[in-house]
Structure 1
Amino acid sequence: MMKRPKIICHMLTSINGKISGAYMNSKYAIAGSEAYETTNGSYHSQAWLCGRVTMEKNFTHFHKPELKEIETPYPRTDYVAQGNAQMYIVSADPTGKVGWIENTVEYENRPEAHVIEILTDKASDEYVAYLRERQISYIFAGQVLIDCTLASEKLLNLFGIKTLMVSGGGYINWSFLQEGLIDEVSIVMTPATDGRTDTNTIFERADNLPEIAPVGFTLKSVDIIEEDTLWLRYGVDK
């Protein structure tokens, strides 16, 4: 019996595997952006997960958390502010840096999503209090680096998340992949590139992670979407 959600890595990419860059604002990416949402909805997930930088860029606009001095720290235990939300957005934020203003996010046509922070022991007591004050759920998973396996198990057990979409950036995608947690890779590929070398790809190993053998995939399906956009689905060869 699986103790974790089914996990799909679902990404919008350029033709050369980039997940950000100027190409995303081009006419070539319009159909892909629409298809990304449509295909995302087809999985009927209860949550999607992104790394800290993605959250700051797209949702908090790099707002810094306003931390206050505290006399009595909250215990280092998981906190479920809302256990029956229709949708969750999960922030992989090891040291606690994302400056959330609200405890929910509205994105595209998805249901309003309650925020869950994944923290490690490196997060400060002041940041934990910051989340509590805003009624933002959080779980602890790992001492320095996020233990994606433990986090996944807690997302199922505490919040009832049975299907989780992992949606970048490249480092958090790779962290889930290297722990053997990705069940499917879903790529909506736009017919464009901008040639940039300073943007992320779908999977990237952080320098502080050990190098492992290459991961292989098995093709499940290819769908041609309008305007020359492809939807590629892969299983992970385990």
Structure 2
Amino acid sequence: MMNRPKIICHMLTSINGKISGGYMGSKYAVVGGEAYETTNDSYHSQAWLCGRVTMEKNFTDFHKPELKEIATPYPRTDYVAQANAEMYIVSADPSGKVGWTKNTVTYENRPEAHIIEILTDKASDAYVAYLREQQISYIFAGKDLIDCTLASEKLLALFGIKTLMVSGGGYINWSFLQEGLIDEVSIVMTPSTDGRTDTNTIFERADNLPEIAPVGFKLKSVEIIEEDTLWLRYGLDK
């Protein structure tokens, strides 16, 4: 039995593997967006995880945290503000930069999600206090870079998360993949592209991570969804 959640990388993409860009606003992406939510629901997960930039773009509008001077820092230990929430949203935020203004997120038709921050030792005492004041849960996993394995184990042990959806951006997706933590890759592919070269793909290796051998996959299923949208499911070729 694994001591971590089952982890699915679930992404909406263009036909050329982009996870952002102008195509997201096209008529072709409407059905894809609906299918993305329907297929996400089919996994019955207890949490979904995104990187810092994705969180700031979609939920905080890049709001900066208002940090105060701390006379007595909180201990740098994990903090569970809400156990047994119906849904969690997990923010991979190594340095502690996301400017949350409340401790829950609402997204589409998903249940209201309690926020969990994944921090590294780089996060400041002031940011830890900022999270505590708002009753936002957090865990520490790693010195400079997020230790995805340790973080996953803590998400199961502390919050009871048995199925976790990892949903971008490309850097955090790759971090989980390179540590061998992705059990399935689920792609909802819209029949469109915008040709941009400055947008992200599903998996991208940060410059400060070591290069590893290419990762192979085994196709589990293909489903044709309305309006020529595909749902592709892959397992790792182990």
Q: TM-score, normalised by structure 2?
A: 1.00
2:91 matches 1:96: no
2:191 maps to 191
How many angstroms does 1:143 deviate by? 0.1
How many angstroms does 1:237 deviate by? 1.3
Q: Deviations over 1:139-178 (max 9, x none)?
A: 0000000000000000000000000000000000000000
1:226 maps to 226
* Matched letter for residue 111 of structure 2: P
* Matched letter for residue 28 of structure 1: Y
Q: Deviations over 1:93-129 (max 9, x none)?
A: 0000000000000000000000000000000000000
How many angstroms does 1:77 deviate by? 0.2
Please list, as runs of the form range in 1=range in 2, the aligned pairs for 1:1-238 lying within 5 A after superposition. Answer: 1-238=1-238
How many angstroms does 1:212 deviate by? 0.2
* Matched letter for residue 154 of structure 2: K
Coordinate RMSD, CA, aligned: 0.3
Q: Distance in 1 between matches of 2:84 and 2:7?
A: 20
Q: Percent identity of the aligned residues?
A: 89
Aligned residues: 238
Q: Distance in 1 between matches of 2:83 and 2:92?
A: 19
- Flag as ranges the 4+ runs of structure 1 deviating above 6 A: none
Q: Distance in 1 between matches of 2:236 and 2:66?
A: 41
Q: TM-score, normalised by structure 1?
A: 1.00
Q: Distance in 2 between matches of 1:5 and 1:237?
A: 20
Q: Distance in 1 between matches of 2:181 and 2:220?
A: 18
* Matched letter for residue 193 of structure 2: T
Q: Distance in 2 between matches of 1:111 and 1:28?
A: 26
